[in-house]
Amino acid sequence: MRQAVGAGHSVAVLSRSVPPDGAPGRIAGAEYFRADVTTGEGIAAAVAGADVVIDCLEGRSGKALRGFADGGARLLAAAQDAGSARAVMLSIVNCDRSNASFYRSKASKEHVYELSGLDTVVVRATQFHSLLAMMFGAGSKLRIIPAVRGARFQPVSPADVAAMLLETALDPAPVPVADPRHRVLNFGGPESKDMTDFAREWQQATGAKGQVVRLPLPGAMGRYLREGLNLVPEARHGNETFRGWLENSADTL
C-alpha cells in the first residue's frame, strides 16, 4: 500500500477493521473501507472504480479458513461487477502440494482465481522474514528459540513481495477481454538456509536470551517443510536478506 501510494496511485484498502487516523499502521493518502469478504458486506464500495485488485487476505483457522476460497470468489465477483481488469492474489509456494488444511485453503482459492473471467495472477511467495521473527520471538519468551528439525527456509521481505505485487498488478501487457488469462508466479527470498542459521541471526540481532533448539514438527506442515516444498531455488528474487531485514527493522523487533 505504502509503495502504491508513494508511486502516486489511488489506493483503497479493504479489511474488517479500519485503523484510526494517526495509528501506526495507517497509511496517509490511502482510503480505508470496512468490509468483510466472509459476508460480502462493504466489498462493492471498496472495489468501486478499481482498475486492479490485489488480494492479500488471510484466513488462518475455523470459519475463516473454511470460507477462504468463497471469500476470494466474493471479492472477484465484486471486482468483475466494478469493471476491474485484473486481480492479483498473494499465495504460498507449493500450497497445492500439501495436505495441511491451511495450504489446501490457499490452493482452493487459487482455483477460484483460475476459473474467474478476469485476467488473474497468483503470486506465490515463500515465508516472510516477519513470520520467522514471530516464531523465534514467541519461543524466546520461554527461553527456547525454535528451529524445525530438517527444515530449510528461503524467507522473503514483505516489502520485496509488495513491490512484486504492485509491478504485477500494473504490468501493462494488454489482455483481450474475450480471452482472460491466468498466471502463477513464484517469488522467493534471496537465500536458503537451515532454520537454525536464521534462528542464530535473529538471536544475534535482538540479543534475546535462550537457546536455539531443534524441534520435530509432526503432521502435514512438518512434511511440507521437511520435503523442502517451501523452497523455490529457481525463483530467488527478493533483495533484502533476513539479516538485512533484521537490521532495517531494528526499532520494531
Ligand X SMILES: NC(=O)c1ccc[n+]([C@@H]2O[C@H](COP(=O)([O-])OP(=O)(O)OC[C@H]3O[C@@H](n4cnc5c(N)ncnc54)[C@H](OP(=O)(O)O)[C@@H]3O)[C@@H](O)[C@H]2O)c1
Binding residues for ligand X, per CB under 6 A? 14-17, 35-38, 56-59, 64, 71, 90, 92, 106, 125, 127-128, 131
Which residue, 86 or 106, has its beta carbon nearer to ligand X? 106
How are beta strands 52-55 and 31-34 bridged, if at all?
unpaired
Question: From the CB of 84, what's the least distance to ligand X, in Å?
Answer: 17
Question: From the CB of 165, what's the least distance to ligand X, in Å?
Answer: 9
Which residue, 84 or 127, has its beta carbon nearer to ligand X? 127
Question: From the CB of 236, what's the least distance to ligand X, in Å?
Answer: 15
Question: From the CB of 179, what's the least distance to ligand X, in Å?
Answer: 27
Q: How many CB atoms lie within 10 A of CB 189?
A: 29
- Specify whether the CB–CB gap between 82 and 96 falls below 8 A: no
Q: Please compute Rg for the chain using Cα positions.
A: 19
Which residue, 20 or 176, has its beta carbon nearer to ligand X? 20
Which residue, 64 or 213, has its beta carbon nearer to ligand X? 64
Residues 195 and 103: their CA atoms lie apart, in Å, by 20
Q: Which residue is nearest to ligand X (CB)?
A: 16
Question: From the CB of 133, what's the least distance to ligand X, in Å?
Answer: 10
Amino acid at 232: V
Which residue, 64 or 159, has its beta carbon nearer to ligand X? 64
Helix (H, G, I), strand (E, B) or coil at 156: strand
- Exposure of 42 by Cβ count < 10 A (0-12 exposed, 13-18 middle, 19+ buried)? middle
DSSP annotation of 252 reads G
